Protein backbone atom coordinates (compact mmCIF):
# COMPACT_ATOMS: atom_id res chain seq x y z
CA UNK A 1 0.00 0.00 0.00
CA UNK A 2 2.89 2.36 0.74
CA UNK A 3 4.24 1.90 -2.78
CA UNK A 4 0.83 2.77 -4.26
CA UNK A 5 0.61 5.85 -2.04
CA UNK A 6 4.04 6.92 -3.31
CA UNK A 7 3.10 6.57 -6.96
CA UNK A 8 -0.10 8.59 -6.55
CA UNK A 9 1.91 11.32 -4.85
CA UNK A 10 4.47 11.23 -7.64
CA UNK A 11 1.82 11.51 -10.33
CA UNK A 12 -0.19 14.18 -8.55
CA UNK A 13 2.30 16.39 -6.71
CA UNK A 14 3.88 18.11 -9.71
CA UNK A 15 4.50 21.40 -7.96
CA UNK A 16 7.31 23.64 -6.73
CA UNK A 17 7.41 24.09 -2.94
CA UNK A 18 7.31 27.62 -1.56
CA UNK A 19 5.87 29.51 1.37
CA UNK A 20 2.31 30.78 1.18
CA UNK A 21 3.47 34.37 1.47
CA UNK A 22 5.89 34.14 -1.44
CA UNK A 23 3.33 32.32 -3.59
CA UNK A 24 0.77 35.07 -3.14
CA UNK A 25 3.33 37.63 -4.28
CA UNK A 26 4.06 35.71 -7.50
CA UNK A 27 0.43 35.38 -8.57
CA UNK A 28 0.38 37.82 -11.47
CA UNK A 29 -1.80 37.94 -14.54
CA UNK A 30 -0.39 35.70 -17.26
CA UNK A 31 0.97 36.97 -20.55
CA UNK A 32 -1.74 36.65 -23.20
CA UNK A 33 -0.09 34.21 -25.59
CA UNK A 34 -1.80 33.19 -28.79
CA UNK A 35 -3.38 29.74 -28.44
CA UNK A 36 -4.96 27.08 -30.65
CA UNK A 37 -6.73 24.26 -28.85
CA UNK A 38 -6.24 20.71 -30.20
CA UNK A 39 -9.21 18.62 -31.37
CA UNK A 40 -11.10 16.55 -28.80
CA UNK A 41 -9.54 13.12 -28.30
CA UNK A 42 -9.19 10.05 -26.10
CA UNK A 43 -5.60 9.05 -25.35
CA UNK A 44 -4.44 5.72 -23.91
CA UNK A 45 -1.01 5.35 -22.25
CA UNK A 46 1.09 2.54 -20.81
CA UNK A 47 2.92 3.27 -17.57
CA UNK A 48 6.22 2.04 -16.18
CA UNK A 49 7.46 3.23 -12.81
CA UNK A 50 9.96 2.69 -10.03
CA UNK A 51 8.80 3.26 -6.48
CA UNK A 52 11.06 2.57 -3.48
CA UNK A 53 13.26 0.58 -5.82
CA UNK A 54 10.41 -1.66 -7.00
CA UNK A 55 9.06 -1.81 -10.56
CA UNK A 56 5.40 -1.04 -11.26
CA UNK A 57 3.35 -1.03 -14.45
CA UNK A 58 -0.14 0.09 -15.43
CA UNK A 59 -2.14 2.29 -17.76
CA UNK A 60 -3.54 5.79 -18.00
CA UNK A 61 -6.49 7.22 -19.91
CA UNK A 62 -7.04 10.87 -20.81
CA UNK A 63 -10.23 12.27 -22.32
CA UNK A 64 -9.85 15.80 -23.68
CA UNK A 65 -12.98 17.58 -24.90
CA UNK A 66 -13.52 21.08 -26.24
CA UNK A 67 -16.95 22.23 -27.40
CA UNK A 68 -18.38 24.89 -29.67
CA UNK A 69 -19.92 26.42 -26.53
CA UNK A 70 -16.47 27.62 -25.40
CA UNK A 71 -16.31 24.96 -22.69
CA UNK A 72 -13.66 22.30 -22.11
CA UNK A 73 -13.19 19.22 -19.93
CA UNK A 74 -10.26 16.92 -19.16
CA UNK A 75 -10.74 13.59 -17.41
CA UNK A 76 -7.78 11.36 -16.47
CA UNK A 77 -7.65 7.92 -14.89
CA UNK A 78 -4.56 5.96 -13.83
CA UNK A 79 -4.55 2.25 -12.98
CA UNK A 80 -1.83 -0.03 -11.61
CA UNK A 81 -1.74 -3.79 -12.08
CA UNK A 82 -3.12 -5.84 -9.17
CA UNK A 83 -4.62 -2.86 -7.29
CA UNK A 84 -6.74 -1.16 -9.95
CA UNK A 85 -7.51 2.56 -10.04
CA UNK A 86 -4.97 4.70 -8.15
CA UNK A 87 -5.68 8.21 -9.39
CA UNK A 88 -8.63 10.13 -10.84
CA UNK A 89 -8.36 13.77 -11.84
CA UNK A 90 -10.59 16.11 -13.78
CA UNK A 91 -10.63 19.74 -14.86
CA UNK A 92 -13.45 21.59 -16.51
CA UNK A 93 -14.18 25.19 -17.31
CA UNK A 94 -14.46 27.69 -20.12
CA UNK A 95 -12.21 29.28 -22.73
CA UNK A 96 -11.32 32.96 -22.39
CA UNK A 97 -8.77 35.42 -23.78
CA UNK A 98 -5.92 33.58 -21.98
CA UNK A 99 -6.93 30.10 -23.16
CA UNK A 100 -8.22 27.48 -20.72
CA UNK A 101 -10.02 29.02 -17.75
CA UNK A 102 -10.64 26.25 -15.18
CA UNK A 103 -13.67 26.33 -12.91
CA UNK A 104 -13.22 23.05 -10.97
CA UNK A 105 -10.23 20.76 -10.51
CA UNK A 106 -11.06 17.50 -8.70
CA UNK A 107 -8.47 14.92 -7.68
CA UNK A 108 -9.03 11.53 -6.05
CA UNK A 109 -5.94 9.60 -4.96
CA UNK A 110 -5.76 5.96 -3.93
CA UNK A 111 -7.21 5.46 -0.45
CA UNK A 112 -7.75 9.19 0.11
CA UNK A 113 -10.81 11.47 -0.14
CA UNK A 114 -11.33 13.60 -3.21
CA UNK A 115 -10.24 17.24 -3.12
CA UNK A 116 -11.75 20.14 -5.05
CA UNK A 117 -10.00 23.29 -6.24
CA UNK A 118 -12.46 26.02 -7.22
CA UNK A 119 -11.78 28.95 -9.53
CA UNK A 120 -14.58 31.32 -8.50
CA UNK A 121 -14.68 33.71 -11.43
CA UNK A 122 -17.41 35.99 -10.05
CA UNK A 123 -15.47 36.78 -6.87
CA UNK A 124 -12.07 36.32 -8.57
CA UNK A 125 -11.01 33.89 -5.84
CA UNK A 126 -9.12 30.59 -6.00
CA UNK A 127 -10.14 28.24 -3.16
CA UNK A 128 -9.21 24.74 -1.95
CA UNK A 129 -11.32 22.15 -0.11
CA UNK A 130 -8.11 20.73 1.43
CA UNK A 131 -6.79 24.01 2.90
CA UNK A 132 -7.71 27.54 3.89
CA UNK A 133 -5.38 29.11 1.30
CA UNK A 134 -6.92 31.59 -1.13
CA UNK A 135 -5.52 33.53 -4.09
CA UNK A 136 -6.89 36.35 -6.19
CA UNK A 137 -7.59 35.31 -9.79
CA UNK A 138 -5.87 37.73 -12.14
CA UNK A 139 -6.10 35.83 -15.42
CA UNK A 140 -4.42 32.79 -16.96
CA UNK A 141 -4.30 30.57 -13.85
CA UNK A 142 -4.32 26.80 -14.48
CA UNK A 143 -4.63 23.59 -12.48
CA UNK A 144 -2.32 20.57 -12.59
CA UNK A 145 -4.48 18.81 -15.16
CA UNK A 146 -5.16 21.79 -17.44
CA UNK A 147 -1.59 23.17 -17.43
CA UNK A 148 -0.20 20.67 -19.95
CA UNK A 149 -3.14 21.24 -22.30
CA UNK A 150 -2.74 25.01 -22.02
CA UNK A 151 0.90 24.52 -23.02
CA UNK A 152 -0.18 22.38 -25.99
CA UNK A 153 -2.56 25.12 -27.14
CA UNK A 154 0.23 27.72 -26.87
CA UNK A 155 2.68 25.49 -28.75
CA UNK A 156 0.20 24.95 -31.59
CA UNK A 157 -0.09 28.71 -32.10
CA UNK A 158 3.46 29.82 -31.34
CA UNK A 159 5.14 28.72 -34.57
CA UNK A 160 8.86 29.51 -34.60
CA UNK A 161 8.58 31.17 -31.18
CA UNK A 162 8.23 27.72 -29.59
CA UNK A 163 11.96 27.14 -29.99
CA UNK A 164 14.75 25.56 -27.89
CA UNK A 165 15.49 27.71 -24.86
CA UNK A 166 12.13 29.46 -24.85
CA UNK A 167 10.24 29.51 -21.54
CA UNK A 168 6.49 29.56 -20.91
CA UNK A 169 5.25 30.52 -17.46
CA UNK A 170 1.98 29.73 -15.66
CA UNK A 171 0.50 29.98 -12.18
CA UNK A 172 -0.79 26.50 -11.37
CA UNK A 173 -3.15 25.35 -8.62
CA UNK A 174 -2.92 21.94 -6.97
CA UNK A 175 -4.84 20.31 -4.12
CA UNK A 176 -3.87 22.71 -1.31
CA UNK A 177 -2.13 25.73 -2.84
CA UNK A 178 -0.72 27.15 -6.07
CA UNK A 179 2.76 27.66 -7.54
CA UNK A 180 4.50 29.37 -10.45
CA UNK A 181 5.51 26.86 -13.12
CA UNK A 182 8.05 27.42 -15.91
CA UNK A 183 8.06 25.12 -18.94
CA UNK A 184 11.31 25.20 -20.95
CA UNK A 185 11.61 23.93 -24.52
CA UNK A 186 14.63 21.61 -24.83
CA UNK A 187 14.37 20.77 -28.53
CA UNK A 188 13.41 18.14 -31.12
CA UNK A 189 13.73 14.40 -30.47
CA UNK A 190 12.42 11.06 -31.71
CA UNK A 191 10.46 8.53 -29.66
CA UNK A 192 9.58 4.90 -30.34
CA UNK A 193 5.94 4.18 -29.46
CA UNK A 194 3.38 1.44 -30.19
CA UNK A 195 2.16 3.86 -32.88
CA UNK A 196 5.59 3.93 -34.52
CA UNK A 197 8.54 6.32 -34.40
CA UNK A 198 7.41 9.90 -33.80
CA UNK A 199 9.18 13.25 -34.09
CA UNK A 200 8.52 15.22 -30.92
CA UNK A 201 9.41 18.39 -29.05
CA UNK A 202 10.94 17.80 -25.61
CA UNK A 203 9.88 20.17 -22.80
CA UNK A 204 10.72 20.22 -19.09
CA UNK A 205 9.19 21.72 -15.99
CA UNK A 206 12.03 21.62 -13.53
CA UNK A 207 12.20 22.77 -9.91
CA UNK A 208 14.80 25.37 -8.87
CA UNK A 209 18.42 24.21 -8.97
CA UNK A 210 18.70 23.92 -5.17
CA UNK A 211 15.38 22.10 -4.77
CA UNK A 212 14.68 18.38 -4.42
CA UNK A 213 11.14 18.68 -5.72
CA UNK A 214 9.71 16.85 -8.68
CA UNK A 215 10.55 17.29 -12.34
CA UNK A 216 8.06 16.88 -15.19
CA UNK A 217 9.11 16.16 -18.77
CA UNK A 218 6.78 16.20 -21.77
CA UNK A 219 7.27 15.14 -25.36
CA UNK A 220 4.69 16.70 -27.72
CA UNK A 221 4.11 15.40 -31.26
CA UNK A 222 3.40 18.13 -33.88
CA UNK A 223 2.25 15.42 -36.36
CA UNK A 224 -0.41 14.32 -33.83
CA UNK A 225 -1.97 17.73 -33.11
CA UNK A 226 0.78 18.27 -30.47
CA UNK A 227 -0.78 15.67 -28.17
CA UNK A 228 1.59 14.48 -25.40
CA UNK A 229 3.29 11.29 -26.62
CA UNK A 230 5.26 10.80 -23.42
CA UNK A 231 5.23 12.25 -19.90
CA UNK A 232 7.77 11.49 -17.19
CA UNK A 233 7.54 12.48 -13.52
CA UNK A 234 10.86 12.15 -11.66
CA UNK A 235 11.83 12.56 -8.00
CA UNK A 236 15.28 13.43 -6.68
CA UNK A 237 15.58 9.98 -5.05
CA UNK A 238 15.36 8.21 -8.42
CA UNK A 239 11.69 7.22 -8.28
CA UNK A 240 9.77 7.94 -11.49
CA UNK A 241 6.59 7.41 -13.45
CA UNK A 242 6.98 7.21 -17.24
CA UNK A 243 3.91 7.05 -19.49
CA UNK A 244 4.00 6.48 -23.26
CA UNK A 245 1.14 6.92 -25.71
CA UNK A 246 -0.39 3.73 -27.10
CA UNK A 247 -3.36 5.07 -29.05
CA UNK A 248 -5.30 8.22 -29.95
CA UNK A 249 -8.96 8.38 -30.88
CA UNK A 250 -10.12 11.80 -32.11
CA UNK A 251 -13.71 12.69 -31.28
20 part of a folded domain: no
Provide the CA 142 distance to its chain's centre, in angstroms.
9
User: Using one digit for the tens of pLDDT, what is the confidence trace for 145-158?
Assistant: 999 999 999 999 99
The pLDDT tens digits of the residues spanning 163-201 come to 999 999 999 999 999 989 999 999 999 999 999 999 999
- pLDDT band, residue 210 (cuts 50/70/90): low
Round to whole Å and give the CA distance between 20 and 72: 29
**pLDDT confidence of 77, banded at 50, 70, 90?**
very high
Residue 231 lies in a domain: yes
Question: Which pTM does this prediction carry?
Answer: 0.88
With 70 as the cut, is the pLDDT of residue 25 above it? no
Which pLDDT does position 22 carry in this prediction?
A: 36
pLDDT of residue 129: 97
Render pLDDT for 3-17 as a digit per residue (tens, 0 to 9): 555 555 555 544 333
Q: What domain range is 47 assigned to? A: 2-8+32-246
Confirm whether 218 is domain-assigned: yes
B/e letters for 83-93, b = 16+ CB within 10 Å, e = fewer, are eeebbebbbbb
Residue 27 placed within a domain = no
Q: Is residue 23, in this structure, part of any structural domain at all?
A: no
Q: What CATH number does residue 221 fall under?
A: 2.50.20
Residue 134: inside a domain, yes or no?
yes
Confidence label for 81 from pLDDT (cuts 50, 70 and 90): confident
Domain assignment present for residue 119? The answer is yes
19 within domain boundaries: no
pLDDT at 50: 78
Write out the DSSP string of 15-82: -----HHHHHHH--PPP-----PPPPEEEEEEEEEEETTEEEEEEEEEEEEE-TTSEEEEEEEEEETT
The structural domain count of the chain equals 1
Amino acid sequence: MRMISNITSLLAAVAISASAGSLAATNEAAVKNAFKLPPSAELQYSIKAKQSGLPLSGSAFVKWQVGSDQKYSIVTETRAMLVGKILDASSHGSIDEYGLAPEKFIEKRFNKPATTTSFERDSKTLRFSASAETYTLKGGEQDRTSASWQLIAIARAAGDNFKPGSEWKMFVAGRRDADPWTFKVIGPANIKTPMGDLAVIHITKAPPADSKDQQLELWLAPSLEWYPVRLKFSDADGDFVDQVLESVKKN
